[in-house]
Chains A and B, each alone.
Chain A
C-alpha cells in the first residue's frame, strides 16, 4: 500500500530528524502541536464539529501533569496518564453540554466553557497564576529512562505522537469512524437509520479531548512548564489554523499544518508582531488557493492522476437499471 510506504518514510524521518542538526526542542514542540491538531481534527474533519475550546484540554492537562510530577512525584508516564484522564473527563463535561448544539452555537459554547477553564487556571492556587508551574522535573520514564537526556525525551515524544496518531487513524478507519463520517455527512439521515447520533459525537469529543490532553501533558514535560498560554483561547484558535492550513479532510494534514505554524513562529520569533501578520497572510493565501489545505491538495492531485485511467469502467451503463432486472 502507498499509505504504508508514506507512513514508514515519515516515521524514518521522525527517527532520523535529530541527527540533521535540527533543534530537538523545536521538533518536540512541533510534535506536541501536531498531535493536538490531529486530535482536534478528529472532531472537525471526521465528525463535523468545530470546537473553539480545545485549549482547555491541552492547557489543563499540562497543569495536571506538571503538578502531578512536581508536587506528588508521579513518574512521567503516570503524569501524562493523569493529564490525559482529566482532559477526558473534562471533555465529557464539555461535550455533554455542547453536543446538542449545531454549528456556531457549538463553537460558542465550547469557547465559553474553555474561558471558564482559563479563569480556573488563572485563579486556582496550585497553578501559580501568571507564573505557571515552573521547573517541572522530567523524571525517569518507567523509573529508569532519564528524560533530561534530550534524545530520550525526543524519542519519548515521538513515540507518544505515533501512538496518538495511530489511535486517531484507527478510530477514523473503524466501525465507529464509519458512523462518525456518516453523521458528519448527513446527521438527519444517520438518525433516520437508527443511530443515536449524540452518543457518537460525544464519544468522539471525549476521544479528541483525551488526545489533546495527552499532547498538552507531553508539552509540559518537554518545556518543564505549564502556563496560561496553553489554556488561552489563542491556542484554541491556533489549532484551528493549523488544521485548516494542513487540510482537515486528511488525517495527517493537521500535523503538516502544525509543523508549518510552529516553524514560522520559531524562525520569525525575533520579528515580534510580524509573526502574527505573516501567519495571517500565509493563512489567507492557503485558504484562498488551496481550499482543502496543503496536504488535502496534494492528496487530491495524486488521486486525480491515478483516477483518470481507472474511472472508465464506471461509465457505460444507462442512467437507469434501478431494479437490476
Chain B
C-alpha cells in the first residue's frame, strides 16, 4: 500500500434493510491533507464516518488505516490508534464542567482510569493542559460551567477542544460548523487550519466557501456512491457535480 495514504477504503458498503446508505465507496485520504467529504443530505456522509470509526459494521468492503486492516476493530481501539471523530450532533458530557470534559480526554493516557480508590486530586496535573486547550477555543472563562449549560456554538468549540486533547493523528469532523454564527465559522476554520499542521483531517462540511478555502482534496458523495473526487477546481468544474449538487442545494 502507498505510504502516503493514511486511510483507504475499498468497496465500502452499508446496507440498511435493502437500502444502500453507502455503496461501494473507495476513499483514499493522503497523510497531512485536509480532505472534505461533501454531498447533499442523506448522501451517506455520516454513515461513512460511522463505518470508518466502527460505530457501524460495514456490510461489505475493507478499511485500512496506516496500512492496518481495521475493518473488524472496535470503536474504542480505533480512537486509541489515533483516529478520532467528532459527532454531527454536538457531543459533550453535559453534567461535567468544560474543564472536566477536556480533562476526561486527557486522563485516558494517564492510565489510572480504573483507580476508584484514588482522589480526583491525582488529575490536577492535567489542568494546565486542559486550560490551554479551553483557551485555544475561547472557552477559558467557562472552565467551571457545566457543558450542558453552554450555548450551542460553545458546545461545538468544547467538543473540538476535547477531540484535540487526544492529540489525534487523524481527525474526522462531522459538520463542525453546523449551527454556528457567522463569526464563529471563520474562527473554527482558522482553528482547523492551525491544528491541521501535523495531522490529517477528513471533514464533512456544507459550507462550500469553507470547503474551498480549507481542503486539499474533496470527495463528492451522492446516494451512497462517490460521484467525483479531486481538488476544488476540478470538482467545481465537473458537470456531473454541478448538475447533482451545486446546481441545486448551494446558495
Q: Which residues of A contact B (CB under 8 A)?
A: 167, 170-171, 173-179, 181-182, 184-186, 188-197, 199-200, 203, 207, 313-314, 317-325
- Distance A320 CA – B136 CA, assembled complex (angstroms): 12
Q: Which residues of B contact A (CB under 8 A)?
A: 53, 55, 74-77, 79-80, 84-87, 91-96, 100, 103-105, 107-108, 110, 112-120, 122-123, 135-138, 140-142, 145, 151, 153-154, 157, 162, 166, 181, 183-184, 187-188, 190-191, 194
- Distance A314 CA – B140 CA, assembled complex (angstroms): 10
**Are A175 and B96 touching (Cβ within 8 A)?**
no
**Are B103 and A178 touching (Cβ within 8 A)?**
yes
**Are B151 and A193 touching (Cβ within 8 A)?**
no
**Are A176 and B116 touching (Cβ within 8 A)?**
yes
From B104, B162, B194, residue with most partner A Cβ within 10 Å:
B104
B80 contacts which of A174, A176, A194 (Cβ < 8 Å)? A194
**Are A323 and B194 touching (Cβ within 8 A)?**
yes
**Are A189 and B76 touching (Cβ within 8 A)?**
no
**Are A175 and B76 touching (Cβ within 8 A)?**
no
**Are A192 and B75 touching (Cβ within 8 A)?**
yes
B115 contacts which of A174, A182, A314 (Cβ < 8 Å)? A174
**Are B116 and A170 touching (Cβ within 8 A)?**
yes
From A167, A192, A320, residue with most partner B Cβ within 10 Å:
A192
- Distance A176 CA – B116 CA, assembled complex (angstroms): 5
Given A170-B116, A175-B115, A175-B123: A194 in contact with B108 (beta carbons within 8 A): yes
Q: Which residues of B contact A177 (CB under 8 A)?
A: 116, 120
Given A322-B184, A323-B138, A323-B187: A203 in contact with B116 (beta carbons within 8 A): yes
**Are A182 and B116 touching (Cβ within 8 A)?**
no
- Distance A280 CA – B135 CA, assembled complex (angstroms): 50
> Can you list 9 A-B contacts with CB-CB less than 8 angstroms, sorted by A residue number?
A175-B110, A175-B112, A181-B93, A185-B93, A194-B76, A200-B113, A314-B145, A317-B141, A322-B188
**Are A325 and B190 touching (Cβ within 8 A)?**
yes
- Distance A207 CA – B118 CA, assembled complex (angstroms): 15
B33 to chain A, nearest CB (A): 21
B85 contacts which of A175, A192, A207 (Cβ < 8 Å)? A192
Q: Which residues of A contact B55 (CB under 8 A)?
A: 188, 191-192
Q: Which residues of A contact B87 (CB under 8 A)?
A: 188-189, 192
- Distance A175 CA – B109 CA, assembled complex (angstroms): 12
Q: Which residues of B contact A185 (CB under 8 A)?
A: 92-96
A93 to chain B, nearest CB (A): 20
A178 contacts which of B75, B104, B162 (Cβ < 8 Å)? B104
- Distance A191 CA – B54 CA, assembled complex (angstroms): 10
- Distance A322 CA – B55 CA, assembled complex (angstroms): 28
B85 to chain A, nearest CB (A): 5
Given A193-B105, A194-B108, A314-B142: A324 in contact with B116 (beta carbons within 8 A): no
A185-B93, A186-B91, A188-B87 known, 12 other contacts, Cβ within 8 Å: A176-B116, A177-B120, A178-B96, A181-B96, A185-B92, A186-B94, A188-B55, A193-B166, A194-B79, A194-B166, A195-B113, A196-B77
From A175, A189, A191, residue with most partner B Cβ within 10 Å:
A175
B168 to chain A, nearest CB (A): 10
B153 contacts which of A170, A197, A319 (Cβ < 8 Å)? A319
**Are A324 and B138 touching (Cβ within 8 A)?**
yes
A118 to chain B, nearest CB (A): 29
**Are A320 and B104 touching (Cβ within 8 A)?**
no
B135 contacts which of A190, A313, A324 (Cβ < 8 Å)? A324
Q: Which residues of A contact B76 (CB under 8 A)?
A: 191, 194-197
B120 to chain A, nearest CB (A): 5
Residue of A nearest to B188 (CB): A322
Q: Which residues of A contact B123 (CB under 8 A)?
A: 175, 178
Given A207-B116, A324-B137: A189 in contact with B93 (beta carbons within 8 A): yes
Q: Which residues of B contact A189 (CB under 8 A)?
A: 87, 91-93
- Distance A190 CA – B92 CA, assembled complex (angstroms): 9
- Distance A173 CA – B113 CA, assembled complex (angstroms): 12
- Distance A192 CA – B92 CA, assembled complex (angstroms): 11
**Are A174 and B120 touching (Cβ within 8 A)?**
yes
B139 to chain A, nearest CB (A): 8
The 7 lowest CB-CB distance pairs between A and B, nearest first, are: A321-B138, A322-B187, A194-B79, A176-B116, A185-B93, A171-B116, A189-B91
A18 to chain B, nearest CB (A): 31
